[in-house]
Structure 1
Amino acid sequence: MQTDETSAVTGPRTLTVRVADGAVRGHAAGSVFAWMGVPYATAGRDRRFRRAAPARAWDGERDCRDRGPIAPQAKAMQVPIDPGLAQDEDCLSLNVWAPRPAEEPRPVMVWIHGGAYCVGASSQTVYDGRRLAETGDLIVVTVNYRLGVFGFLDLSSFGEGFEPNLGLWDLVTALEWVRDNISAFGGDPGNVTVFGESSGAGAITTLMTAPRAEGLFHRAIAQSAPATSVYGAVRAAAVASRFLELAGVAPSEADRLHELPVENLLRAGDELLDEIVTTVPGTLAMAPVVDGDLVPRYPVAAFQKGVAHRIPLIIGTNRDEASIFRLTRSPILPVTADTVTQMFAAIADDHPDMPPSRIAEVIAAYPDYTKPTGAMAISRDAAFRMPCLWIADAHCRHSPTWVYRFDHATPMLRAARVGAGHATELPYVFGNFGTLNMDPTFWLGGRRSAVQVSGRVQRRWLAFAAYGVPAALDASKHWAPYTEESRSTLLIDKTDTLVPDPDAALRAAWGNEVMGFS
């Protein structure tokens, strides 16, 4: 069912379609329509620490003009969230941008936002999908999912009232909703590309190894994925025990967590976050867990064993990933020689069988290790670059794989020593520059080049979603697939450059065996 409301001056103003739970009314956004805050499941207090329940059906038309509530999240980390957006445990909604349905179903892109698994929202302005939907003549979906204490704290060691990996289960449920409902918007449920950044990309690389998620998406783009930030059950139980201490709850009374105010749980979660990143640099307090069910094994190891979903993959990182963490003094990444040394000591403790010489060989590859630039390089490579290469080397053995490094930075970002820092590629992907208050990106110029770079990135991402090959469909540099022989890597800057194996020395120093925390 489709119904329109049309203005003689502006053309169609609304478009109503019917999904499984009822009719949803979208509103014109440029040349496409937008449906905001569409429920795909429900997870209020009655589902706290449990997998979500199906969304409640509604009568009549649901007006989808406003964005839904965002997930309750850490206050210790700040991300640019528009004022006026409420936080609510029942936050499981998604947003859809789509042209008017046509005879032929269109490709679908599903965005998974980042934020260290504890902050962020699909409604952040930078993730507005209108420009991508217009440029690519396809459908863009952005998803809210549970975060932090409510989404990635594994309390299952305290009884059947708690389930692990709830944020990941939310994403599986959202992808099932897309499979079952996107045709109402003119989308093709058999041509779904997931794309995401940071922990959103980490969720993607994890779901690529989850049997439960197989067939729910057909291509993947992982931007700066911290793919090794997935931990074991023993570590998860220890973190959960510490959380209970901080929340003032005895282990025998863990069920009290179901009734405590949200604010109390968030406060304890913030204390936990600060404590863990300080005592064990390079780790996250709350992240996906190997649970033997949704996540049967460590994802990078699963890629190396050849059991990841055999789908086309774009994966890459930014040249200066760690710079933004130093600028904002965020403890999420170790960016000093002392904290990097502390990280390696913790890895050695976690892997007593690992030869001490291995860590020494890695450190020796960074002659300026004792300086901020060297420490940031090690941190960048441990968290992002090496996981990317480990996955690419494994995945390309059986599935089309493309690797990139995003190098572009405006004059202002270079002057501020941010460069191509973590997340700086986001406005290039969505075409949404200037979404921050007092955005300094173009204070020293560079807009024209940035817009050109953005156009190439968008064309490649959109072509990949439509056809499975990231061609820019213009005179841009051909992007050859990554193979173990060529290791062709696209360096994205004012001009794109295809370079064979630019990280040869890096790979030699780190080796093929995954180095991370269990």
Structure 2
Amino acid sequence: MTELTPTASAVPADRLVVRTSAGLVQGGESDGALFWKGLRYAEAPVGLLRWRAPVPVEPWTGVVAATDYGPAAPQISNPAIPLGPDVVKDEDCLSLNIWRSAASTRPLPVMVWIHGGAYTFGSSRQPLFDGTAFVSTGEVVIVTVNYRIGALGFLDLSSVATEEQPFDSNLALRDVLLALEWVQQNIAAFGGDPERVTVFGESAGGGLITTLLTVPSAEGLFHQAIAESSPVSSVYDSVRSAKVAQRMLDQLGVAAGDLARLRDLPAVDIVAAGMAVYAAVPSEEPGTLAFAPVVDGELVPEHPITVLSEGRGLPVPLVIGTNKDEAALFKFMKSPLMPIDEQSITEMLTEIARENSELEMPTRDEILTAYTGLRTHAIGLGVARDVGFRMPTLWSAEGHATVAPVWLYRFDQATPMLRLVGVGATHATELPYVWGNLDTDPKDITFKLGGRKTGRAVSERLQARWRAFATTGSPQGAAGDVEWETFQPAGARSTLVIDRHDALVPDLDGELRAAWGDAVLTFS
């Protein structure tokens, strides 16, 4: 953010100039939307604040320009997640962005977006997440949040902490919590209603949201949630996080008696070491991630999948779902994150069974009954999709529906090009439709063989449902759309299939549930 020269008297009467709890900011206007970008909610997490809980931003004097995005969190470039032109990457990344319609005058419900990226990539500054189209109807205020990622955001060094060198756990989750506190304190000044806050996110962002649903200190910071393709069960215990911490220390060449060096290492070196660990962990232990939220017994008292499946999460309405072909992207990108081949899947299932020895887990053959008739590679994609995304989503929906309304979906829409290259409705393909931004990346192949007309129609319906959920508490969308019934574990288990034409399907996942059984599996 850049400080402007304040007037000699008072700040001009300008709707773009807003007083926050830390000082005055001046935004901009474009295409019928007012926006404020790069708003700091925390001090730079550097030096002694590296690997510590975020600290609220210090007040400033004058008027700070808020017309450009803040830096993205340090990361390597990933062609699958374009950050936009002229991107700056810096540890001083704890900022957020706000959009609302220029025509809106009343307090509006707020939707707070948590971006994805395997807990290691991405930013709120991605062109895909520009909120202009989302706020065009004047129904909601959009907030997008930056948080620490990779080793700087998810490495848990508490196992090696000392009195002289303290470290905190779940740094990224703490960032999001502080951002939500900032929203509660400040969003009214931007035209938002702090009593009607919906958090929504995809992939890692969805995982942070399902974890938030089990964090006691998050109560009251949001009132509804949307979790898209959440890896709900990819949250690990302190034993595994300690192993990752030691692996990182070894990779960085930092001895236990020299922890002070961790505060001074260049961020680029930490990112490089983190990427080596990021690649090694799932290769050696299929189905696991190096960096993810941790059950620390403090901020996250228990495994989220356990809490949610037992109906003990924060009792807020929830929209949750996955994409039909989640795992295809990981195969297409040759990503190590998801086990696709038979050997790695067998290793993963064996390890899950070992970690859940007290449960009556289905056998490998029983699980494979859900994939009868599929080719070998399709079986691998199906198992990876379901163990990583669909089954944890179902377990969460089953439990959370006992304490709050739940709407379950599956996103099936795929363009001709995505079907041709064999990825279909894969991981993250719903995002352009959710945001109404179908053409943000000139290198994107999605619509190269057509499908934009259908895409716009799907996007309009999907956005209408997400906005309706934020404004009314029910994702029914526009008049004439298929009615979306709540998910009832003891009833029809209705699922909305989002495609060229939406359809409500009873017990869409019946065969899958039967094959996987009733055991709710954790990944410690």
Q: TM-score band, normalised by the shorter chain?
A: over 0.9
Q: 1: distance between equivalents of 2:446 and 2:287? A: 28
Report what 1:134 is aligned to: 136
3-state SS of 2:482 partner: coil
Match of 1:445 among 447, 450, 458: 450
- 2:232 is the alignment partner of 1:242: no
Considering only aligned residues, what root-mean-square deviation do their CA atoms show, in Å?
A: 1.8
CA offset at residue 45 of structure 1?
1.4
- 2:198 is the alignment partner of 1:182: no
Q: 2: distance between equivalents of 1:209 and 1:353? A: 23
Q: 1: distance between equivalents of 2:51 and 2:312? A: 29
Q: 1: distance between equivalents of 2:228 and 2:209? A: 10
CA offset at residue 203 of structure 1?
0.3
Q: 2: distance between equivalents of 1:92 and 1:351? A: 37
Change (3 A) 1:203 1:416: same
Report what 1:192 is aligned to: 197
Q: 2: distance between equivalents of 1:267 and 1:442? A: 34
Q: 2: distance between equivalents of 1:352 and 1:393? A: 22
* Structure 2, unpaired ranges of 5+: 1-9
Q: 2: distance between equivalents of 1:209 and 1:153? A: 20
Report what 1:203 is aligned to: 208
- 2:152 is the alignment partner of 1:146: no
* Structure 1, unpaired ranges of 5+: 6-13
CA offset at residue 358 of structure 1?
3.0
The answer as to whether partners of 1:403 and 1:490 remain within 8 angstroms in 2 is: yes
CA offset at residue 44 of structure 1?
2.9
Q: How does 1:53-452 map to 2 (within 5 A)?
A: 53-74=55-76, 79-100=81-102, 104-160=106-162, 161-353=166-358, 358-367=363-372, 371-452=376-457
Q: 2: distance between equivalents of 1:4 and 1:143? A: 28
The answer as to whether partners of 1:42 and 1:91 remain within 8 angstroms in 2 is: no
Q: How does 1:465-484 map to 2 (within 5 A)?
A: 465-484=470-489
3-state SS of 1:494 partner: coil
Report what 1:504 is aligned to: 510
Higher alpha-carbon deviation: 367-376 or 223-232 = 367-376
CA offset at residue 363 of structure 1?
2.8
- 2:501 is the alignment partner of 1:495: yes
- 2:42 is the alignment partner of 1:41: yes
Report what 2:4 is aligned to: none
3-state SS of 1:246 partner: helix
Q: 1: distance between equivalents of 2:352 and 2:77? A: 28
CA offset at residue 357 of structure 1?
5.0
3-state SS of 2:371 partner: coil
Q: 2: distance between equivalents of 1:136 and 1:507? A: 41
Change (3 A) 1:136 1:409: farther
Q: 2: distance between equivalents of 1:3 and 1:216? A: 32
Runs of 4+ that moved beyond 6 A: none
Report what 2:520 is aligned to: 514
Per-residue deviation, residues 288-319 of structure 1 (Å, max 9, x unmatched): 00011110100010112322011110000000
Per-residue deviation, residues 406-463 of structure 1 (Å, max 9, x unmatched): 0001111111111101000000000001222322111111111110000000000000
Higher alpha-carbon deviation: 331-340 or 84-93 = 331-340
Q: 1: distance between equivalents of 2:332 and 2:267? A: 31
Q: 2: distance between equivalents of 1:237 and 1:454? A: 43
Report what 1:8 is aligned to: none
Change (3 A) 1:3 1:465: farther
Higher alpha-carbon deviation: 406-415 or 342-351 = 342-351
CA offset at residue 365 of structure 1?
2.7
The answer as to whether partners of 1:337 and 1:369 remain within 8 angstroms in 2 is: no
Report what 1:11 is aligned to: none
> Alignment identity in percent?
47
CA offset at residue 191 of structure 1?
0.2
Higher alpha-carbon deviation: 40-49 or 493-502 = 40-49
3-state SS of 1:141 partner: strand
Report what 1:25 is aligned to: 26
The answer as to whether partners of 1:228 and 1:387 remain within 8 angstroms in 2 is: yes
3-state SS of 2:136 partner: helix
Change (3 A) 1:181 1:365: same
Change (3 A) 1:33 1:210: same
Q: 2: distance between equivalents of 1:396 and 1:307? A: 10
Calculate the TM-score normalised by the size of structure 1: 0.95
Q: 1: distance between equivalents of 2:239 and 2:517? A: 26
Q: 1: distance between equivalents of 2:466 and 2:111? A: 10
